[in-house]
Copies of this chain bind each other. A is one copy, B any other.
Amino acid sequence: MTPNLRADSINDTLNAFCTDSDAYIPGGDGPLAGLTFAAKDIFDVAGYVTGGGNPAWKATHQPADATAWVVRRLVDAGAAMVGKTITDELTRGIFGENVHYGTPVNPRAPGRVPGGSSSGSAAAVAGGLVDFALGSDTGGSVRVPASFCGLYGLRPTHGRIPLEGMLLQAPSYDTIGWFARDAATFAQVGAALLTLENSVDGAPNRPRRLLVAEDAFELAQPEARPALDAVVERIGALFDSVASLRLAPASLVEWSEQQQVLQSREAWESVRHWIDRVNPAFSFEVSDRYVLARSVTDAQVAAAQAGREAIVARMNEVFQDGDTVVVLPTTIGPAPPTGQWVSERHTLRLRNSALTSIAGNTGRPQLSLPLVEMDGLPVGLSLLGNRGADEGLMMLAEAIVVSQR
């Protein structure tokens, strides 16, 4: 267990924490007593300005009146919040390279990105600076850094954890997730955050039927396939049945294009007036995405909305047996090197989005598990569950650990 320290007394050699915030909430009694956590700097802490990974955002906002629901919940359960962590600007990014605050170090893959946008939270957990950390996931911002940093990381069922007090990006996709190094701690935090009051299906159960998403595995880098396939083979033994299928009638890339349109529109609506008023300094890459978002037409939105409904219908079919879980790679491969060119990251992001948008478009929970390594670099393997089956995914994660002993 990590000592119960404030972030400013932690020797943060990973550039995980925001050095311009000393937000801190001591822990107390409860099921999480003695555990420390960090919160991505998009969660409000009363009395502190939420920075959102962008200096102009921080400079033009007031200290929060209240602490975010999710932070209160964890503190009420006894955990200590030791500090705020670096995020990609306004959560727009999946690689974790923030031009203003620097790139948090990936302790599991030196010289490589930590993944984003919950970059500092993932780095802090992977580096052992805290026991767990909060992130958010709109288009992959928990799952991708979990994959790249070798962590457990959940994108919960959309709507399951209240977003109150969080900087929103695209509300119909936004979720709150968390990271831990081990399945037990992961589930302990889950028990505090996922309760009967916000449950979807009532009593949780562990899925018995595994579906291998062939078209998702085809998107992975060929050199990552042997390690991924070996783990799928191994965990298949924990299920009553294992089958393969293709999720998308045509292509998962098309699916991610629907999310790109809708998420862009929502993201632009979230900040357009602020951008117009403040003219914030963003990295070129982030501005580029907002300019693209501004150009999205109502006709494109309508078409993408219809596309999303078709994706939802198809995935309802896949999950018609509620006892089902789908396995897929979290990312197409391990973390890429830091300092790639904008155009290289763009290409890589589009390929990764084809994997992350399946859960995004359908509001389903997806848990990334640190089960695979390629040349010593972590790659996440994901379990995608039915809506509300968050606890079932955590049960599976613990069963997999037990089966490995």
Please report A residues at the B interface, Cβ cutoff 8 Å: 56, 97, 99-100, 275-277, 279-285, 287-288, 290-292, 341-343
Taking a contact as CB atoms under 8 Å apart, the answer to whether A284 and B277 are in contact is no
Taking a contact as CB atoms under 8 Å apart, the answer to whether A341 and B276 are in contact is yes
**Docked CA distance A285–B275 (Å):** 9
**Docked CA distance A281–B54 (Å):** 11
**Docked CA distance A279–B338 (Å):** 12
Instruction: Please indicate which of the listed interface residues A277, A279, A288 has the most CB atoms of chain B within 10 Å of its own CB.
Output: A279
**Docked CA distance A283–B281 (Å):** 4
Q: Nearest chain B CB to A218's CB is how many angstroms away?
A: 29
Number of copies: 2
A–B pairs, 10, beta carbons within 8 Å: A56-B99, A99-B280, A277-B341, A277-B342, A279-B283, A279-B285, A279-B342, A281-B283, A282-B284, A284-B290
- CB contacts (< 8 Å) of A279 on chain B: these are 97, 99, 283-285, 341-342
Q: Nearest chain B CB to A70's CB is how many angstroms away?
A: 30
**Docked CA distance A285–B276 (Å):** 9
Q: Nearest chain B CB to A89's CB is how many angstroms away?
A: 9
**Docked CA distance A342–B279 (Å):** 6
Q: Nearest chain B CB to A134's CB is how many angstroms away?
A: 26
Taking a contact as CB atoms under 8 Å apart, the answer to whether A280 and B284 are in contact is yes
Contact pick for A287, options B56, B277, B288, CB 8 Å = B288
**Docked CA distance A276–B345 (Å):** 10
- CB contacts (< 8 Å) of A100 on chain B: these are 281
Contact pick for A291, options B277, B281, B288, CB 8 Å = B288
**Docked CA distance A56–B279 (Å):** 17
- CB contacts (< 8 Å) of A292 on chain B: these are 291
**Docked CA distance A284–B275 (Å):** 7
- CB contacts (< 8 Å) of A281 on chain B: these are 99-100, 281-284
- CB contacts (< 8 Å) of A343 on chain B: these are 276
- CB contacts (< 8 Å) of A99 on chain B: these are 56, 279-281
Q: Nearest chain B CB to A281's CB is how many angstroms away?
A: 5
**Docked CA distance A288–B292 (Å):** 10
Q: Nearest chain B CB to A296's CB is how many angstroms away?
A: 14
- CB contacts (< 8 Å) of A277 on chain B: these are 341-342
Taking a contact as CB atoms under 8 Å apart, the answer to whether A282 and B276 are in contact is no
Smallest CB-CB separation from A285: which chain B residue? B279
Q: Nearest chain B CB to A322's CB is how many angstroms away?
A: 44
Taking a contact as CB atoms under 8 Å apart, the answer to whether B287 and A291 are in contact is yes
**Docked CA distance A369–B343 (Å):** 45
Smallest CB-CB separation from A282: which chain B residue? B284
**Docked CA distance A99–B54 (Å):** 13
Identify 17 new A-B residue pairs, CB closer than 8 A, beyond the known A275-B284, A275-B342, A279-B285. Answer: A99-B280, A100-B281, A276-B341, A276-B342, A276-B343, A279-B283, A279-B284, A279-B341, A280-B283, A280-B284, A282-B284, A284-B287, A284-B290, A287-B287, A287-B291, A291-B291, A291-B292
